[in-house]
């Protein structure tokens, strides 16, 4: 755990009737979204998502919010409100429900279906309440109204939370597509109505705050996809997020138009699209989708694959194709479409996959050379529109890296929100809303919790540092046998090195330094094996640092004989 702002103390007692807002993820990062609201001794959680690891998190599978703030108060949690079904908003729900499985989950039909499928894998049967736009639910001290917003997944919701302290409007992830594929518009009339009623704290998606203008409509993507189908002479492979129902629908429509058969590859993709089809969010013409194993029954110019791997994930289907480690052998004439944006931190992995596919002769279409993706987040023009419609008393930018939060704050200020009324906060920074007035009240411990195989929370920064050293610098093991009675070296040192370009013979040069250091230490009366290990570590570290300019992990082993 870590304290995000050491200059801020722990928050004091919450004023009577006030609301405390504690972001445990999603502020200062893209992912791990989770916000806890406290009012009248009760808690409401909005979203509970994961963050995906980057290169400096070797061996880590997922990163969770830090639940320690609520861990001993789970009996006070009224519900978890889920704004939509993306992993960065629902992915951590199973890990929280492991602590208390009967916390109610509220969300739209598709959102709950996706999270229920995830919970089934964890053998958790949740209590759920489906909600729709326009619905209003009383959750203890919290009066919640749900509003439609459009995003890159169907059925997304914003939530207005009315309390004695004031009204909070949380947008979730949203944009203002005026021609959405499913006809479901962001409820700007509802935003305006709430603005007339009075929004005391506006919590606003910041992801695209740096992008000028308006986000391109989903409808504008189809011509680029259609061009791909028109020009492709062989197989078409489309990689996108496993939850992007709209993009998959566009690919299905194009395949139907051009007489191709579609196979869906990847467990998460198959599961999510099956749920979307069953609930009516995905229209699949009869006979269009075939089992992957039957795809070879059709000529390659009639084949379309939809798979995961648009972020360069090493075990995903697309990366395995690029590495020639998949049943599908990509070659000249094949067309690969990466129909997604780059998540920050994934750029190098994605470009490695693109280069690998092009080396095999494939034509690769991606966001940089064609309009095959549009964002699911509101750009600056849309955010300005919302601020002018809602006219909030206070603003708290959410969901984004620090640069996104700052850009969003600047937009709010440009529309007339006073600078002192903009709560620019990061994970763990506590904001109290009392009688319609918001202020930063302190900070709570809030760090990364790592999922590492079957381990949750046991991996820490010290362990990750060791892994980074092993990965980047290599390791040296030194084995020395010491005579227990005399303290002299009876055998060794034996040196084993891995991860070095130099021949192992070069390490024989450090043996005299190790022997000299041990003899000097024993002459001073040092006989403890642990202390002798430290002597060896310092001697080897000094030599390797000076001669090889490396800082490897050094593992000394002292055996008393």
* Block residue for tokens 């050379």: 369
Please report, for residues 224, 473, 494, the alpha-carbon distance to residue 432 in angstroms, rounded to integers and kept in the order given.
Answer: 47, 46, 62
Question: Does residue 169 share a domain with residue 46?
Answer: yes
Would residue 5 count as lying in a domain? no
Would residue 222 count as lying in a domain? yes
Region 5-21 average pLDDT:
88
Distance CA 275, CA 284 (A): 12
- pLDDT band, residue 3 (cuts 50/70/90): very low
Would residue 77 count as lying in a domain? yes
Q: What is the CATH number of the domain that holds 255?
A: 3.40.50.10710
Question: Does residue 518 share a domain with residue 429?
Answer: no
Main-chain phi, psi angles of 507, to 5 degrees = -75, -10
Would residue 11 count as lying in a domain? no
Please give the pLDDT value at position 497.
Answer: 81
Total structural domains within the chain: 3
Main-chain phi, psi angles of 270, to 5 degrees = -60, -45
pLDDT digits (tens, 9 = 90+) for 358-381: 999 999 998 778 888 888 999 999
In 335-458, which residue ranges form alpha helices assigned H by DSSP?
347-359, 380-390, 402-414
Question: Does residue 141 share a domain with residue 104?
Answer: yes
pLDDT digits (tens, 9 = 90+) for 314-367: 667 888 888 888 888 888 999 999 887 766 666 777 888 889 999 999 999 987
pLDDT digits (tens, 9 = 90+) for 223-250: 999 999 999 999 999 988 888 899 999 9
pLDDT digits (tens, 9 = 90+) for 18-42: 999 999 999 998 889 999 999 999 9
Region 435-457 average pLDDT:
84
pLDDT digits (tens, 9 = 90+) for 410-419: 999 999 999 9
Nearest C-alpha neighbor of 382 from the set 186, 190, 200, 199: 186
Question: Does residue 207 share a domain with residue 227?
Answer: no
User: How far does the chain reach from its first CA to its final CA, in angstroms?
Assistant: 43
Question: Does residue 389 share a domain with residue 311?
Answer: no
561 and 484 in contact (C-beta within 8 Å)? Answer: yes
Asked whether the bond before 360 is cis by omega within 30 degrees of 0, the reply is no
State the residue range of the domain holding 467.
461-560
Main-chain phi, psi angles of 120, to 5 degrees = -60, -35
Distance CA 30, CA 207 (A): 8
| DSSP-assigned letters across all residues of 285-297 | -TTTB--GGGGGG
- pLDDT band, residue 1 (cuts 50/70/90): very low
Question: Does residue 346 share a domain with residue 266?
Answer: yes
Tell me how far the alpha carbon of residue 71 is from its chain's centroid: 22
Main-chain phi, psi angles of 254, to 5 degrees = -70, -40
- Collapsing DSSP to helix, strand or coil, 188 comes out as helix
Would residue 2 count as lying in a domain? no
Please give the pLDDT value at position 85.
Answer: 93
- When the pLDDT of each residue in the chain is averaged and rounded to a whole number, the result is 88
Residue 300 structure tokens: 């390659």
79 and 73 in contact (C-beta within 8 Å)? Answer: no
| DSSP-assigned letters across all residues of 62-90 | EEE--THHHHTTGGGEEEEE-----HHHH
Residue 439 structure tokens: 């202020």
In this prediction the pTM is: 0.84
Please report, for residues 245, 247, 372, 373, the alpha-carbon distance to residue 240 in angstroms, rounded to integers and kept in the order given.
Answer: 10, 8, 10, 9
Distance CA 3, CA 443 (A): 7
pLDDT digits (tens, 9 = 90+) for 491-510: 778 888 877 767 777 877 88
Q: Which residues contact 540 (CB under 8 A, 6 or more apart)?
A: 476, 478, 510, 513, 514, 554, 556
Nearest C-alpha neighbor of 84 from the set 189, 166, 186: 186
Question: Does residue 532 share a domain with residue 419?
Answer: no
Among 439-443, 451-455, 465-469, 485-489, the range of highest mean pLDDT: 439-443
Percent residues over pLDDT 90 in the chain = 58
Please give the pLDDT value at position 58.
Answer: 67
């Amino acid at each position: 755990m870590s304290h995000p702002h050491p200059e801020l103390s722990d928050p004091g007692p919450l004023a009577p009737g006030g609301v405390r807002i504690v972001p445990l993820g999603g502020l200062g990062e893209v992912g791990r979204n989770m916000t806890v609201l406290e009012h009248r001794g009760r808690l409401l959680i909005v979203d509970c998502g994961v963050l995906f690891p980057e290169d400096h998190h070797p061996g880590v599978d997922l990163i969770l919010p830090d639940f320690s703030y609520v861990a001993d108060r789970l009996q006070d949690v009224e519900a978890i409100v889920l704004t939509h079904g993306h992993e960065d908003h629902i992915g951590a729900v199973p890990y929280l429900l492991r602590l208390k499985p009967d916390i109610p989950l509220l969300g739209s039909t598709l959102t709950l279906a996706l999270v229920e499928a995830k919970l089934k894998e964890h053998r958790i049967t949740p209590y759920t309440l489906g909600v729709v736009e326009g619905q209003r639910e009383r959750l203890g001290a919290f009066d919640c109204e749900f509003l439609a917003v459009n995003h890159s997944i169907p059925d997304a919701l914003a939530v207005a939370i009315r309390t004695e302290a004031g009204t909070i409007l949380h947008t979730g992830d949203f944009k203002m597509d005026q021609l959405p594929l499913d006809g479901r518009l962001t409820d700007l009339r509802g935003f305006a109505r709430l603005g007339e009623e009075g929004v005391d704290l506006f919590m606003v998606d910041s992801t695209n705050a740096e992008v000028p203008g308006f986000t391109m409509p989903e409808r504008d993507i189809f011509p680029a996809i259609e061009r791909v189908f028109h020009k492709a002479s062989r197989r078409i492979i489309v990689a996108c997020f496993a939850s992007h129902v709209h993009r998959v629908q566009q690919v299905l429509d194009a395949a139907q138009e051009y007489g191709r058969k579609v196979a869906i590859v990847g467990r998460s993709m198959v599961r999510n699209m099956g749920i979307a089809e069953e609930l009516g969010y995905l229209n699949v013409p009869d006979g269009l989708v075939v089992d992957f194993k039957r795809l070879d029954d059709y000529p390659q110019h009639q084949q379309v694959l939809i798979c995961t791997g648009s972020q360069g994930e090493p075990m995903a289907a697309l990366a395995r194709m690029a590495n020639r480690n998949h049943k599908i052998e990509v070659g000249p004439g094949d067309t690969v479409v990466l129909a997604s944006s780059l998540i920050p931190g994934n750029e190098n992995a994605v470009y490695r996959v693109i280069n690998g596919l092009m080396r095999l002769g494939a034509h690769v279409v991606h966001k940089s050379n064609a309009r095959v993706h549009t964002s699911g987040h509101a750009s600056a023009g849309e955010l300005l529109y919302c601020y002018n419609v809602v006219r909030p008393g206070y603003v708290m930018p959410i969901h984004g890296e620090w640069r996104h939060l700052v850009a969003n704050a600047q937009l709010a200020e440009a529309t007339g929100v006073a600078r002192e009324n903009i709560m620019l906060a990061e994970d763990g920074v506590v904001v109290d809303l009392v009688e319609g007035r918001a202020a930063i009240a302190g900070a709570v411990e809030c760090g990364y919790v790592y999922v590492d195989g079957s381990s949750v929370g046991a991996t820490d920064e010290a362990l990750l540092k060791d892994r980074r050293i092993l990965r980047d610098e290599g390791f040296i093991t030194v084995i020395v046998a010491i005579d227990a009675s005399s303290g002299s070296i009876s055998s060794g040192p034996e040196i084993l090195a891995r991860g070095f370009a130099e021949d192992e013979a070069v390490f024989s040069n450090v043996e005299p330094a190790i022997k000299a250091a041990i003899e000097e230490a024993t002459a001073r009366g040092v006989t403890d094996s642990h202390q002798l290990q430290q002597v060896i570590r310092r001697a080897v570290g000094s030599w390797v640092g000076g001669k090889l300019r490396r800082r490897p992990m050094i593992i000394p082993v002292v055996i008393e004989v």
